[in-house]
Structure 1
Amino acid sequence: MDDDELLLFKTPLSHILFLDGEKSEWVNSIFQEREEHGEFHTLFPRLLEQENKCFEYFRMQVDTFWYILDEIRPYIEKQSNFRKCISPEERLSVTLRFLSTGMGFRSLAFSYRIAHNTIAGIIYETCDARECFSEKHMPFPTAELLEKSAKNYEQLWHFPNCVACIDGKHVRIKCPKKTGSKHFNYNGFFSVVLQAMVDAQYKFLIVDVGAYGRQGDSSVFSEPNLFQQIETGSFPFPQPRQITGTTMTLPYVILGDQGYPLKEYLMRSYPTGQEELPREIEIYNYRLSRARRTVECVFGILVSKWRCLKTELQVEPHHVDKLVMTIYLLHNIGIAIEGINEGTLQKINSANTAKIARSTSRGPRCFNRAGRDAYCIRDQFKTYLNTVGATDFQDNETGAYVH
């Protein structure tokens, strides 16, 4: 080995000379100051001392942060070799900050003093680690779990045999390449559809994300495995039961709005027009729409807490799926550990009150034609809610007593 080769061999990678004599740095000088001036190293220790500020920053309590970190640490921890790796604490911090604000990768790069492409990799890898929570915080529903959810709906929302409420939400994204108008929705922006089933305690039971934005609720519902499982009888609905105080035996059902088809297992409101509806239909529509507040509130909580959902996500659709699925698991984890923030819930309920009238005002869709059995089951629910189930109760949000 001659002298020039020996000199090159001993020269650090950060000082190797390339074309035109320009020096190429292994790490930009700005990012080399990460441990001195990076947001995590300067702010994180202070956040741990003030729980309210930690919640504002991460959108979760300190205990929840450590709980999540303990579970995913084996999946995101890297082994240091010739340079020090980014710690699991900092990786989780970057991910939560992105989900809670929707800041761009380049903005986060200057805050945390980490290159933007490294930021992206950290976020995607941390989101992949969510799988370790699925079994505990969102297992696939069993008959026992659905029956428990139905009891909660009857106790809290006064609608019998309801195992869940279903609805869809559009997640705004940048226009993917070579997709034409597939992701362009009726609201005038590009999106993918998040469709979710929610229990009476504001937790996700089943989530499907990734459908094209131009598809309606009925079209999205008819595509995924959930629909196929229900249609083939493999979805674990509890056995129909006799309603207390009556001779009626009714099946367990899901509640949806007018965008969904009326099925034997999926109830929606009666269509409304310009003419005044009979009182018994108005009561049924109100009670169904009132129970459906749970899914409306869940979407409201998601957007108010994880504000990346308020922005146009500048990532590819398959990464959008990854981010959104992480958010719904974080939502379930937050409720399990922290409970529901009553102040936030009250604001969202107030905003959703006007939606009750609007949700029953849309006319029927031609592709949502139902079978005779589905009409009969809806009529039986209507009869129950206007007879035995028509006792006065106090509205959970307004405090008023409603018949």
Structure 2
Amino acid sequence: MFWKLHNLLKPYMGGDKKRKRGSTPNGDIPTSSRLSMALRWFAGGDPLDIFQVHGVAPEQVYISVWIVVDAINQCPTLQIKFPTSHEEQRRIADGFRTKSKVGFPNCVGCIDGMLVWISKPNQRSTLQTEIGPGKFYCGRKKKFGVTLQAICDHKRRFIDIELGHPGSTSDYLCFTTSTIHRKLLRNSNLLAPELTFFGDNAYVNTSFMATPFKGKQSGVKDAYNFYHSQLRINIECDFGMLVHRWGCLRKPLPVNITVRKITQLVRALCMLHNFCVDENESVACPVTSDDVYYGIVAGGFTQEDAENRPQPLIDGGHHFNDVTRASRRRDREQAAYLTRDILVQHLEELGVTSRPAPRGSTSTNLN
């Protein structure tokens, strides 16, 4: 696996800049060593250990990290692209159907957001993103962060990711300003007929998004909520695998990494996650006391699409009301049909009128 990944990235890793005088005393650092150092750092390794094992100067660990990040983001083979082929979408839906105990037939992906933990952005990051530093504070989790919105398939691979929104942004706003949402609005045939995304109640129930019913504790709608969550949990598991595999995400990314560079780092880690899933690589071993995190300093290229940035983000302050009842109602009313109703009808046809009884002992069963 390592050498397969190395062969993919080597054409985009380049080489060190030539010295103005003389030659490199100990020879150029091999691209394989740079990839090895970067992967170990991604997994939460200590740079003080990494540079000694590889026999390089300490700063070369940090330089290698960004060389590899740049190479991953430039490698076309590793890019994350939502499948536009209806045949491929049907294969994903069939994969979810096999995982569903009631055979829900039309899930093309599970969507949710995750907070990427960062330190409070400095003035340099604020000027680059044109977003006030207070907007990166997530009041619910009491952390500064950047929102990663992702869609995964039945194999728990990322098939679409969106980065760049600050931590105070809701999942609803992230989705409505995302590239995949714009494509859905412009092209009604992007998804195969009756296929839909599964999301939680942070999203709006539309023809391309199925969300749970609110306040249902019995009946077929409560059963729908149960079996809906059985599939939707795949995106939560995907986020858990991502953070468990790449230990650098378990602590706040330091302030000397700009927000733009953080988006490139996280995008690269998502691509590596897909590579590991495709190669049937198991999730990393449990975290140990040796898996520590240190800040990094080095350069890296940036990619950021700020064309559709919401206006309320471009000012100081902390929070803002990005979701209104009127906007949610408008999205529901504009939907041609609701796939959630189709799924409820599917349960009624199967005769499923309630969620399954809990297995094993519960807090109310003292016997």
**Do 1:77 and 1:87's aligned partners in 2 also have CA atoms closer than 8 Å?**
no
State whether structure 2 residue 15 is matched by structure 1 residue 74.
no
- Matching residue's letter, 2:264: K
1:333 is aligned, of 248, 255, 275, to 275
Residues 1:146 and 1:376: Cα distance change in structure 2 (over 3 Å)? closer
Structure 1: gaps spanning 5 or more residues = 1-63, 241-250, 345-363
**Alignment map for 1:179-190 (pairs within 5 Å):** 179-186=132-139, 187-190=141-144
| Whole-Å separation in 2 of the counterparts to 1:339 and 1:385 | 36
**Do 1:172 and 1:189's aligned partners in 2 also have CA atoms closer than 8 Å?**
yes
After TM superposition, give the deviation of residue 205 of structure 1 in Å: 0.6
| Whole-Å separation in 2 of the counterparts to 1:198 and 1:269 | 18
State whether structure 2 residue 33 is matched by structure 1 residue 96.
no
| Whole-Å separation in 2 of the counterparts to 1:310 and 1:287 | 30
| Whole-Å separation in 2 of the counterparts to 1:340 and 1:236 | 33
Question: So what's the TM-score if we normalise by structure 2?
Answer: 0.73
State whether structure 2 residue 91 is matched by structure 1 residue 151.
no
Structure 2: gaps spanning 5 or more residues = 124-131, 287-322, 361-367
Is the partner of 2:241 in helix, strand or coil?
A: helix
Is the partner of 1:206 in helix, strand or coil?
A: strand
2:197 is aligned, of 231, 240, 254, to 254
**Do 2:163 and 2:263's aligned partners in 1 also have CA atoms closer than 8 Å?**
yes
**RMSD of equivalent CA atoms:** 3.1
**Do 2:12 and 2:75's aligned partners in 1 also have CA atoms closer than 8 Å?**
no
1:387 is aligned, of 343, 349, 363, to 349
Q: RCO (CA 8 Å, sep 6+): is it higher in 1 or 2?
A: 2
1:295 is aligned, of 232, 235, 245, to 235
- Could you say which structure has the larger radius of gyration? 1
State whether structure 2 residue 328 is matched by structure 1 residue 368.
yes
Is the partner of 1:166 in helix, strand or coil?
A: strand
Is the partner of 2:136 in helix, strand or coil?
A: coil
1:198 is aligned, of 148, 152, 159, to 152
1:209 match:
163
Residues 1:235 and 1:280: Cα distance change in structure 2 (over 3 Å)? same
Identity of aligned residues (%): 25
Residues 1:139 and 1:379: Cα distance change in structure 2 (over 3 Å)? closer
**Do 2:245 and 2:283's aligned partners in 1 also have CA atoms closer than 8 Å?**
no
- Matching residue's letter, 2:118: I
Is the partner of 2:28 in helix, strand or coil?
A: coil
**Do 2:199 and 2:211's aligned partners in 1 also have CA atoms closer than 8 Å?**
yes
Q: Which moved more, 1:374-383 or 1:285-294?
A: 374-383
| Whole-Å separation in 1 of the counterparts to 2:150 and 2:343 | 23
After TM superposition, give the deviation of residue 208 of structure 1 in Å: 1.1
After TM superposition, give the deviation of residue 180 of structure 1 in Å: 2.5
- Matching residue's letter, 2:30: S
Residues 1:111 and 1:135: Cα distance change in structure 2 (over 3 Å)? closer
**Do 1:165 and 1:198's aligned partners in 2 also have CA atoms closer than 8 Å?**
yes
Is the partner of 2:217 in helix, strand or coil?
A: coil
After TM superposition, give the deviation of residue 115 of structure 1 in Å: 4.2
- Matching residue's letter, 1:161: N
After TM superposition, give the deviation of residue 156 of structure 1 in Å: 1.8
| Whole-Å separation in 2 of the counterparts to 1:295 and 1:232 | 26
**Alignment map for 1:124-273 (pairs within 5 Å):** 124-131=66-73, 133-135=75-77, 138-142=80-84, 143-157=86-100, 158-178=103-123, 179-186=132-139, 187-233=141-187, 236-238=190-192, 240=193, 251-272=194-215
| Whole-Å separation in 2 of the counterparts to 1:213 and 1:139 | 24
Is the partner of 2:114 in helix, strand or coil?
A: strand
Q: Which moved more, 1:110-119 or 1:150-159?
A: 110-119
Q: For residues 339-366 of structure 1, give each alpha carbon's deviation from its aligned partner in whole angstroms, at most 9, with x where no partner exists.
A: 556999xxxxxxxxxxxxxxxxxxx973
Q: Which moved more, 1:224-233 or 1:76-85?
A: 76-85
Question: So what's the TM-score if we normalise by structure 1?
Answer: 0.67
| Whole-Å separation in 2 of the counterparts to 1:293 and 1:343 | 22
Larger fraction in helix? 1
Q: For residues 322-377 of structure 1, give each alpha carbon's deviation from its aligned partner in whole angstroms, at most 9, with x where no partner exists.
A: 11111111111111112556999xxxxxxxxxxxxxxxxxxx97353352447754
**Do 2:199 and 2:209's aligned partners in 1 also have CA atoms closer than 8 Å?**
yes
1:65 match:
2
